Structure 1
């Protein structure tokens, strides 16, 4: 996910515990699939960047996702898919709100 390239971003976006992300980042870096790069202007952060070695794994993963997505949505029209995706987006927003992971702003409470 572009722009989601720190361990904290992964934890937030995927709702994962930091210890789990840290463990897997260490493992992937140790095996040569990830590199840590400093974030300019913030010495506490580092970007996680996939290496060339990760390329074939990423391509295979994307191909599997694409095949699964095509099979899963077979028989649905574009309009039906758009409605489905809108529903999923609202479900996600509601789950974030209910779990307390999203800060409420003035006007959110009804």
Structure 2
């Protein structure tokens, strides 16, 4: 679903960066999708290290089901909220994500090394 919803972010490095997943988890997941014939990895002719991930036609029904599940979940999760309340949820969620991103960036830079050791 990530690849479908984010077509411009179609490399393993993009997935790791945006989803905050480990390289090993992304690699394992992509290998499983490739083995099932759902994706294909295409190496750039100009840069052999740049490998784009392409969703194959076989994945269409899975994507369709995934989109339906996402819409149904959002509908159920936001049931009974006014448009203003939905907007406020989005604003608060975006702030939480920004805070998490800032923390992870500091952690990656080693600023939280001491707290990690405790």
Calculate the TM-score normalised by the size of structure 1: 0.85
Higher share of residues assigned helix: 2
- Once residues 101 and 12 of structure 1 are traced to their aligned partners in structure 2, the CA distance between those partners, rounded to angstroms, is 15
Q: Which runs of 5+ in 2 are unaligned?
A: 1-5, 109-118
- 8 A Cα contact 1:96 1:102, kept in partner: no
Please report how far the alpha carbon of residue 101 of structure 1 lies from its aligned counterpart in structure 2 after TM superposition.
6.0
- Once residues 83 and 62 of structure 2 are traced to their aligned partners in structure 1, the CA distance between those partners, rounded to angstroms, is 30
1:62 aligns with 2:45: no
- Once residues 70 and 25 of structure 2 are traced to their aligned partners in structure 1, the CA distance between those partners, rounded to angstroms, is 23
User: RCO higher in 1 or 2 (8 Å CA, sep ≥ 6)?
Assistant: 2
State the Cα deviation string for residues 53-102 of structure 1 (Å, max 9, x = none). 00000100110111111011011111111111011111111111112269
How big is the alpha-carbon RMSD for the aligned residues of Structure 1 and Structure 2?
1.8
- Give the number of equivalent residue pairs: 103
Match of 1:33 among 11, 30, 38: 38
Partner of 1:107: none
- 8 A Cα contact 1:11 1:17, kept in partner: yes
Match of 1:14 among 14, 19, 27: 19
Secondary structure in structure 2 of the residue aligned to 1:84: helix
Partner of 2:116: none
